[in-house]
Amino acid sequence: MMKYNWTTLEGILSAQLDLKKLSLSYKKLLIFILLSLFFGCVYGSVMGSYGGIDSIQIIYSGVKVPMLFICSFFLSLPSFFVLSTLLGLRQDFLYAIGALLVCQSGVTIILCSFMPFTVLWYTSFSDYKGVIIFNGLMFALASISAQFILRKFYRPLIAKNKRHLWLLRAWFAIYSFVAIQMSWTLRPFIGYKKLDPQFFRDEAWGNAYIELTNIIINYVIDKLLK
Amino acid sequence: MLQEWFHQLDQILRGELTKLSALRSGSINISLAGLVVILLLLGMFYGGCIGFYSLVQSNGENYMQILASVVKIPLLFFLTLNVTFPSLYVFNTLIGVRLSVPTALQILTATLGVMMTVMASLGPIVIFFSLSTSSYPFIVILNVIVCSISGILGLSFLLRTLDRLVVIQEEEEYEAIKIQNSLEVIDNHDSTEAIEADASLAKKMITDNQSSNRLKNRDQTNSVLDKVDRLITQKILDDHDSSKPLETDASMAKKAITDNQSSNKVYKQGQTYSALDKVDRFTRKKAKSVFRIWIIVFALVGAQMSWVLRPFIGSPDKPFTFFREQEGNFFIRVFESIISLLVN
């Protein structure tokens, strides 16, 4: 562990980590999974503190945020592997996976840097919908910011072979598709104060896309009727 | 042994067994038996993924659907293969593409391998959505999308492989014409006259003999002409009179031999080969059209075969049966699922 210190974090955020040296084996990539787990757990705990610092939601959310990232990643991985083989990009698979894991670690590190803002928001405002929107905004900002990291790591791959860009787009499509449903299934992350903390909501087992489509269609119909 | 068969599937996916240099031997080096076993395993896995929804919705009671789907997914693909294989072989022969029965079977089985692998790789996502959602129309659409993606990638693989086989056949025909013309020139060469005149005559004969639909690519024409030079120059060297200086003959030979163009696609440094690469040369328009029409037929047959063999997922509103009554068709059902999703 002495090898991985603050320099590693700086290397991730500035995209100057030498993946070619680190990606010598799949075992070396475990460090990025552990980073995602650690920082995801930390931010998840802060998310769950909305109901109070003694709320069990802290532990639930501390487990669920890393689960969201890791489960979405590994569910999307088999199709990424097959597509990279079909497109003739297998020899770069280890580097590509390393870049994606670094990006994911970057998302969780950036989220943790937003922790003070989240705490300030919780102490300033108590509206539940506002808290959901705020946390959604933090996740969106962290994801967008991490794209800068990913683009820098992926630049040499794309310069080598433009098919990497298409593979990356396919990855985003599959990962987003899975992650959106995963986040819906794993809720609640924040915990509505008027309800008892639960790991899963009983009535929350549903489909994020159907719910989203219903919201959009109802909104459009309301607007048209007015 | 299983490891060897998976390694073979890996080589198919990488495109190593279907690249131009590998296809020049005349057949594809695939162990059909091993590939069929792998296809069965992958198909059964995806059948389990697709039938998992019924198991979850019935709280573990309806396990028969998952068993039925494990059998029906491999059956779907092999029946589609049996229905469309004879037409592929016959139409290829009609348009002049020489494809032997074993080679056609190997190509189609390799195509199924690509399809099954893509489907199996998306299987965990299907399982996740089966666990987390209760909407039957959504699961139907999801599985249709998964099968469509695997079908598109598999049929792209098939199309590229067929195109490469046509290119190889065309190259062989051009080589035969060029050699025939060159041999005629050499056989008729009068040793009292300079061979250069015969070389230019041979070139003119070759270019004049080509139909307007062939050899439109200038690089390919130059490649053929360079090979003519090489043959004629080789003849010069063979007939060289030792009493005369060799320099003139040698320079001619060097020029012809070192100007040899590669007949494989030129890859930029660092770019790797892919099973889905387009062949960068002209293939017969007729062959192209026939391939594309056949692929549409394959897709339509596969879609309707899936309707005939239904149910795969198992509607939560209906009791389990191995086959449903034949009514409607695949496309109407997909359309109804989309409308049902939007309305509900």
Contact A210 B117 (CB under 8 A): no
Pairwise CA distance, residues B9 & B2, whole Å: 11
pLDDT at A12: 66
Partners of residue B342 in chain A, C-beta under 8 Å: 213, 217
pLDDT-derived band at B171 (thresholds 50, 70, 90) equals: confident
Q: Which residue has the higher pLDDT, A205 or B126?
A: B126
Whether A40 and A64 have beta carbons less than 8 Å apart is answered as no
pLDDT at A123: 86
pLDDT-derived band at B260 (thresholds 50, 70, 90) equals: very low
pLDDT at B208 exceeding the cut of 60: no
Which chain A residue has its CA at the smallest distance from B117's CA?
A82
Partners of residue B159 in chain A, C-beta under 8 Å: none
pLDDT at A137 exceeding the cut of 60: yes
Q: Is the peptide bond before A197 cis (omega within 30 degrees of 0)?
A: no
Mean pLDDT of B19-29: 71
pLDDT at A178: 93
Share of chain A above pLDDT 70, in %: 81
Q: Which H or E run contains B114? A: helix B101-132
Q: Specify the residue for token string 């059948």.
A: B47
Mean pLDDT of B141-152: 91
pLDDT at B117 exceeding the cut of 90: yes
Task: Report the 10 Å Cβ neighbour count for B325.
Answer: 6
Whether B24 and B168 have beta carbons less than 8 Å apart is answered as yes
| pLDDT tens, residue by residue, B326-336 | 666 777 777 77
Mean pLDDT of B80-104: 80
DSSP letter for B27, please: S
Pairwise CA distance, residues B46 & B70, whole Å: 7
pLDDT at A136 exceeding the cut of 60: yes
Partners of residue B14 in chain A, C-beta under 8 Å: 85, 88, 90
Name the residue facing B121 among A81, A88, A160 (closest C-beta): A81
Q: Specify the residue for token string 């787990």.
A: A37
Q: Token pair for residue A17?
A: 């980590």
Mean pLDDT of B81-86: 86
pLDDT at B84: 85
pLDDT at A4 exceeding the cut of 70: no
| Cβ neighbours of residue B53 closer than 8 Å, sequence gap 6 or more | B130, B136, B139, B313, B314
Q: Which residue has the higher pLDDT, A76 or B192?
A: A76
| pLDDT tens, residue by residue, A34-61 | 888 999 999 999 888 887 777 788 888 8
Task: Report the 10 Å Cβ neighbour count for B26.
Answer: 11
Pairwise CA distance, residues A147 & B256, whole Å: 53
Which chain B residue has its CA at the smallest distance from A205's CA?
B132
Pairwise CA distance, residues A42 & A59, whole Å: 10
pLDDT at B254: 47
CA angle A78, A81, A87 (to 5 degrees): 140
pLDDT at A126: 76
Whether B153 and B5 have beta carbons less than 8 Å apart is answered as no
Mean pLDDT of A148-171: 89
Q: Which residue has the higher pLDDT, A81 or B89?
A: A81
Nearest to B310 by CA among B149, B153, B147, B116: B147
Contact B276 A76 (CB under 8 A): no
Q: Which residue has the higher pLDDT, B167 or A92?
A: A92
pLDDT at A128: 80
pLDDT at B184 exceeding the cut of 90: no
Pairwise CA distance, residues A34 & A66, whole Å: 10
pLDDT-derived band at B165 (thresholds 50, 70, 90) equals: confident
Distance from CA of B283 to the nearest CA of A (A): 22
Q: Which H or E run contains A30? A: helix A30-47
Amino acid at B164: R
Partners of residue A79 in chain B, C-beta under 8 Å: 118, 121-122, 125
Whether A206 and A184 have beta carbons less than 8 Å apart is answered as yes
Contact A87 B274 (CB under 8 A): yes
Choose the mutation target among A73, A80, A82 for the interface with B, i.e. most B CBs under 10 Å. Answer: A82
pLDDT at A24: 54
Q: Max CA-CA distance within chain B?
A: 97
Choose the mutation target among B42, B125, B160, B343 for the interface with A, i.e. most A CBs under 10 Å. Answer: B125
Partners of residue A67 in chain B, C-beta under 8 Å: none
Contact B272 A161 (CB under 8 A): yes
pLDDT at A2: 36
- ipTM score of the complex? 0.83
Q: Specify the residue for token string 């394959």.
A: B298
pLDDT at B124: 94
Gyration radius from chain B CA atoms = 28
A160 touches chain B (CB under 8 A): yes
Partners of residue B138 in chain A, C-beta under 8 Å: 207, 209-210
pTM: 0.77
CA-based end-to-end distance of chain A: 62
Distance from CA of A118 to the nearest CA of B (A): 29
Partners of residue B276 in chain A, C-beta under 8 Å: 86-88
pLDDT at B249 exceeding the cut of 50: no
Pairwise CA distance, residues A205 & A216, whole Å: 20
A176 touches chain B (CB under 8 A): no
Pairwise CA distance, residues A191 & A119, whole Å: 15
Pairwise CA distance, residues B230 & B232, whole Å: 5
Name the residue facing B271 among A81, A161, A185 (closest C-beta): A161
Mean pLDDT of A78-105: 90
Nearest to A171 by CA among A185, A157, A159, A184: A157
